[in-house]
Amino acid sequence: MFSSRTLVPVPRNMLSDMRTTPLHPQHLELGAKMAPFAGFEMPIQYTSITAEHLAVRNAVGMFDVSHMGEFWIRGPGALDFLQYTTLNDVSKLKAGRAQYSMLPNHSGGLVDDIYVYCTSETEYLMVVNAANIEKDWAHLNGLRGEFEVQRPASAELQLENASNFFALLAVQGPKAAETLQALSDSDLLSHKKNDTFMAKVAGKWVRLARTGYTGEDGYEVFVAPDEVESVWKALLEAGVTPCGLGARDTLRLEAGFPLYGHELTDATNPLCTPLSWVVKGYKTFYAKEAMMGRPCLQKLVGLVLETGIPREGYTVLKNAVKVGQLTSGTHSPVLKKGIGLAYVNAELAELGTGLEVEIRGKLVGATIVQTPFVQ
């Protein structure tokens, strides 16, 4: 079992309050442009965002995402606790499987969007967004007391914040599987999307998950912080392109994936988004009534622009009247067009609807389209 108790914690940068990942020296050695993100100094790009983006779309790239948070949920009460605190149906997970999910808050909004990995019948690993580690941890511990009172028969529950004991790489692209397979003596190729399992990569024991945030095939590699450098270097030698958070953002946007703090917030009702499938209304979960009772005045849609590049905060209009706002926007390196996600008035949120986006005082035509923008 890949247990945090056997690992060395991630170091802190002693010269500032900014945290660094174990691969920080490698990023500097490669000449990465660094910037603050979620309390960490992270690589934004190494060469160019477009080049790194296309490397993932056409071959294989890798991201250092060791800033993400990891929580262990263990014990006989783990399943019931996760059923109550998350929106998806955790009972559908067998050992070795994972699912995308969300943590609802008291008003029917969202604390965070997450991934839940079932490692055994009584053990789950939850991966959370870096900016929300402390908030998510406090939220889960706050609900623990309520859960234990309501379900004393299954109250044996252990929560562990293991965020300092994991490094995490995302190896993504159409050549990700064959590249990792060449570095492993385990059978990686037979595993399907959302599988998670133990394997050796570059001689190091890791937990692999066939998941990712780019829209491409790939694996996320959970590895001990003091061993991640050797795995990173082996991947570099195998021809994998190092990619920064800039390309990660453009890739996730082409794939139509949300980013917490943009498309998803404390006020977001997920039923008003294309992610409504995550909400399993047939089960009981925290603040279910508050969520189900909230109307969708606006809905999240994908927009393709006729010209120009949309950005977060830009106004969306219909016949020159404001009807919404961009939450994310970029230039798609694949489509070579401006794309974005926006909340617009619910009565207009139909595929094919023509709208306008205000860019530096000018109105640019836009159309609501099906996401993902790029298959």
* Domain membership of residue 146 as a residue range: 69-161
Q: What is the pLDDT of residue 145?
A: 83
CATH number at residue 90: 3.30.70.1400
Q: How many domains, the chain?
A: 2
pTM above 0.75, yes or no: yes
CB 260 within 8 A of CB 250: no
133, 161, 189 — which closes off a domain?
161
CA angle, 183 as apex, 221 and 63 as ends, to 5°? 35
Instruction: Say whether both 175 and 248 belong to one domain.
Output: yes
Instruction: Say whether both 58 and 186 belong to one domain.
Output: yes
> Which value, in Å, is the radius of gyration of the alpha carbons in the chain?
21
Q: What is the pLDDT of residue 3?
A: 37
Instruction: Say whether both 208 and 227 belong to one domain.
Output: yes
Q: What is the pLDDT of residue 151?
A: 67
Q: What is the mean pLDDT of each run of 10 residues along the chain (375 residues)?
A: 38 62 98 96 98 98 98 95 97 98 97 98 97 98 83 75 97 98 96 98 98 98 98 98 98 98 98 98 96 96 98 97 98 98 98 98 98 94
Instruction: Say whether both 60 and 198 belong to one domain.
Output: yes
198, 223, 254 — which closes off a domain?
254
Instruction: Say whether both 52 and 177 belong to one domain.
Output: yes
Q: Is residue 349 included in any domain, yes or no?
A: no
Give the C-alpha distances (Å, rounded to integers) separating 209 from 133, 192, 193, 346: 20, 9, 8, 36
Instruction: Say whether both 218 and 239 belong to one domain.
Output: yes
Instruction: Say whether both 172 and 248 belong to one domain.
Output: yes
Instruction: Say whether both 91 and 233 belong to one domain.
Output: no
Buried b (16+ CB within 10 A) or exposed e, 203-218: ebebbbbbbbbbbbbb
Instruction: Say whether both 175 and 129 belong to one domain.
Output: no
Q: Is residue 267 included in any domain, yes or no?
A: no
254, 278, 304 — which closes off a domain?
254
Instruction: Say whether both 184 and 75 belong to one domain.
Output: no
Instruction: Say whether both 60 and 179 belong to one domain.
Output: yes
Q: Is residue 194 included in any domain, yes or no?
A: yes
Q: What is the pLDDT of residue 18?
A: 87
CATH number at residue 196: 3.30.1360.120
Q: Is residue 371 included in any domain, yes or no?
A: no
Instruction: Say whether both 61 and 88 belong to one domain.
Output: no
Q: Is residue 48 included in any domain, yes or no?
A: yes
Q: Is residue 62 included in any domain, yes or no?
A: yes
